[in-house]
Structure formats: structure tokens, C-alpha cells
Amino acid sequence: MMKLFSGLLFCFLGEEGESKDLINELPDCILSSIFSLLTLKDVVDATSMVSPRWRRLVLHPILTRLNLEFDIPNVFGISIDDDAIADKHRKQDFIRCVNKVLQLHHGNKVDSFKVKFYFNRKSTAILDEWIRFAITKGAEVLYLHFSRYSEAEKGNYYDFPCWLLSELRPSTLKNLSLTGCVLRLPPSFDRFSHLTTLYLYEVIVDNISLARLLSDCLLLESLTLDYCWGASELMVKGPSLRLNDLKVVLCFDMQRVDISLVKLASLEILSGSLHMNLSIKPPYPAKISFGSILHFNLCARLTQFASFSGLETLHLQLEMLHHDELPRSLPTFRDLKKLEVDLLFSQKADLAGVLNLLKATPFLEQLVVSVLHVWGACFGDSFCEDEQEIRKFSGLKHNLLRKVKLQAFRSTLYEIEFAISILKNTTKLEIMEIDPFGEIYLGAGVWRKVMGIRGLYASNSSWEEKDWALVQEKLKEVKTDARIIIL
């Protein structure tokens, strides 16, 4: 599409760069609409070839733009991120395009500046100048997402230039997002004082820099550490901190997280460390997302969460190895209203354990269960061996549960018995939705559709009419007022 309109633009140009009458007769609004489909590279290439009228229509909206975003789709008009695009020539084209736009940009202000491409410290001089431009123009949002080729490239990450921010005017940055960088805060660095959102993905950051961030960024409301290295402890304390959203996802070096915050509403801990020490002081968050390998202190962790007054939403992402089981005895979660359980297993999914969780959550209103096998898992009749455990389950009568969703449903008898048990033991259930696929939360704001056996997480990729009919037939035998939806 982009090349089509680019060709359309140039086929109407005269030898002197003047447009012919046919297209020149189009009103400005239509021409502007056509030009809006051009890539940044096409626009930059056209700067010396168009008529004064076209220059105004093409260039002025871009060269005074408040939000500048440079990535593969915007620069090259390609909708997919492909490693092949990172070759040397494409990188030079990308750099040339960005430099030209910044050179011609004559707006007094830039609100946001975003770059996403394959860069590392070899491009430090260029990247520093781009950041200088953004800060000088008063950017409040700065996204630098630099993809890497391999694990070995961590030693080649771009160093975020804190020194540069110190040299320039007081920073207006409110939102900083870094990928594939090193972040080291020098002593007395104060240019992040206006930050409200900080997102770090594949970033190398040490304990001292994290401590300085949290002590100096008193306006910070959201902090995400996703797949970061270096820091072994995170101490988030202080009545003056405004932090209400904290995510620590797969930070394998992280051994200790201490939290004591007045305004924390949402906490996400998807642990990459098997023995992370997690301490949370009241007041407690209303929402917690927690991921763990099952046999590492799960009972203690769930007991800890059950004691949290005000905890209303709990998401559990549990990797089940060999014959792991959920705890069979748990204290009562007195405030929990929504429970989401993702069981990632290689041999057995402990659905009976989920029923035990239901016993421990008498005030629950919504339940979402996803049973997912990790690529390489084997399936046989092992599910059938556990049907009796579901059938014998007793002591569960739920009076408040209203909505249940079962995702990645494979129509095994074990899963069907699980669904039947819920229907039989809930008195106010309004709807049960059964989905052979679905969508799961991976952490740090990322969701992934369950696509079938070729994906990382797999469901029943061969869900057929007979499976649908079997589930419908079995569930129809249960006396219930709930509406049952089988997708």
C-alpha cells in the first residue's frame, strides 16, 4: 500500500518537480489523506522534489509533529518486525531517515520521542544526539527500544546517557521506557524527578541505581522491571512514594523484594529466582499477580496472600513439574472476589487443587482457569486417572461465584468432571464459558493468545465438533440455572 501511493505521488510529478494538472486539481484534504499513507522515508526522499504546495501538505504536518515515532513500520512501511531488516544497509537507511526528519523539524515542542530498532553501543554517538534533540525539545515521553540479536549481546548494550541529561535544561521527562540498555545513575543525578512511569525491559541496572531511582523519583506511579539483570534487591519503602503499580517479572538476579507503600494498588511478581524473599507490609495491594514453580514455597506464599486484607484479585501462574500438586489445606481468603489460575504443566494439571482453592475463597465471584501444556509435554490417558479425585471432592458449596471461564479446554474426561463439579457445587452461578483456546497473561502488560500445539503454550488445536458435542452432552446432565457457553 505504501509503495502504491508513493508511486502514485511521483508519477504525477513534472520534470521540474511541479505536479501535473490532474492531481493538482485535487483539494488539499484529499492530497493530505494520500500523503498520510507515505512512510517517513518516502516523505524524506520527496523533500527536494515536490512543488511548494505539496511541500506544505506533505512536510508541514510531519516536521511540526509533536509525537515522533521511528520504528520499522513507520520508517519502511513494513508491518512485521523481522531480524532480516537489521542488516547494515537497512540500518543506515533508518539512521538517515531519522537524522533528516530531526534536521528539518521546526516545531518548538516535542511531546513524545520513540525509537525502536536494532541498535547497541556501536551507535552511541548517533543515539546520544537523538536523545539530546528530544530533551531539548521538552519531550515528556521517551521510548528507546533496542532489540538484541542474541544473549551474548548483553555486553554490548547501549549506555543510557544520564550525563547528557545533566548537561541540558531541567528534564521534563514523565514517561521513560528502555529496552536493551544499561542504566546507571551517577551520584547527585536529579533529572528523573518528574518521572511518573518507568518501564525497563532487558535492561542492566544495579542495586545502587534502583535505590537512587526510588529515593529521588517521588512522583513515580508505575515501575516495571521485566527480564532485567544486575540488581539483586528491590527496597520499595516510604510514605512519600506515590507508587501504585509495581511489576517485577523474570528478573533472575533478584533475590529480595521488600515493599512498604501506602498507595500500592497492583503488584506483579513473576519470579525468575527460585528463592526470592518477598516481604510486603500493610496496607496491602488490591490486586496481585504471582508466578512460581509449584514446589518452591507455594503453600507459604498463598498463606501469606490469604492474610492480606483488601486483596480482591489474585492471578496465579504456576508451572507444574512432574507430579506437583497445589496445597490441599489453605487459610481463607476473606476479601478475594476474582481468581485467575494458569496451570502450566508437563505431565499433570492439578484441577482438584483448584477446587481446594475454591474452598478457601468463599466470597469469590469470578474464576478463570487455563490448563496449558508446555511444548514437549506428552498426553495420554493420565487425566483419566484423576477423575475419581474430582468426583470424590467434598466440602465445597459456593454461594457467591457467578462467572466461570475455562480456557485451553481439551475435552478430556478429567476437565469435564472438573466443570461438572463446579456446576454442582455453586448455587448462584450465572455463566460458564468453555473455550478450547483463549488468552493468557504473561506479565508486564503482555497477553498471548493460546494458538495450539505449535505455540509456547498449547491447547487443543484440533477441537472438533465431536469434542464440542461430548462436552455439551456431559454438562447437559447437570441440573443448573447457569448459562453454559461452549465456544
What confidence tens digit (pLDDT) does each residue in 24-55 have?
677 777 766 666 666 677 766 666 655 666 66
Q: Which of 163, 150, 161 is nearest to 183 (CA)?
A: 161
Instruction: Categorize the per-residue pLDDT at 385 as very low, low, confident or very high, splitting at 50, 70 and 90.
Output: low
pLDDT at 455: 45
Helix locations, 173-297, DSSP H: 207-216
User: In this structure, which amino acid lies at residue 409?
Assistant: F
Instruction: Report yes or no: 149 and 88 within 8 Å, Cβ to Cβ.
Output: no
Instruction: Report yes or no: 289 and 441 within 8 Å, Cβ to Cβ.
Output: yes
Instruction: Report yes or no: 310 and 283 within 8 Å, Cβ to Cβ.
Output: yes
pLDDT at 397: 83
Instruction: Categorize the per-residue pLDDT at 85 as very low, low, confident or very high, splitting at 50, 70 and 90.
Output: low
- d(CA 392, CA 355) in angstroms, rounded, equals 11
User: In this structure, which amino acid lies at residue 306?
Assistant: A
- d(CA 430, CA 365) in angstroms, rounded, equals 10
Give the CA count within 13 Å in the CB-facing half-sphere of 347: 6
C-alpha cell at 309: 486484607
Residue 346 DSSP class: S
Phi, psi of 21 (to 5 degrees): -60, -35
**Span 169-183, pLDDT tens digits:** 777 899 999 999 999
Sign of CA dihedral 392, 394, 399, 404: negative
Does 52 or 383 have the greater pLDDT score?
Answer: 52
- Mean pLDDT calculated for residue range 197-205: 96
Rounded to two decimals, the pTM is 0.85
Instruction: Categorize the per-residue pLDDT at 2 as very low, low, confident or very high, splitting at 50, 70 and 90.
Output: very low
Instruction: Report yes or no: 226 and 250 within 8 Å, Cβ to Cβ.
Output: yes
Q: Which of 432, 442, 441 is nearest to 478 (CA)?
A: 432
Residue 446 DSSP class: E
pLDDT at 32: 67
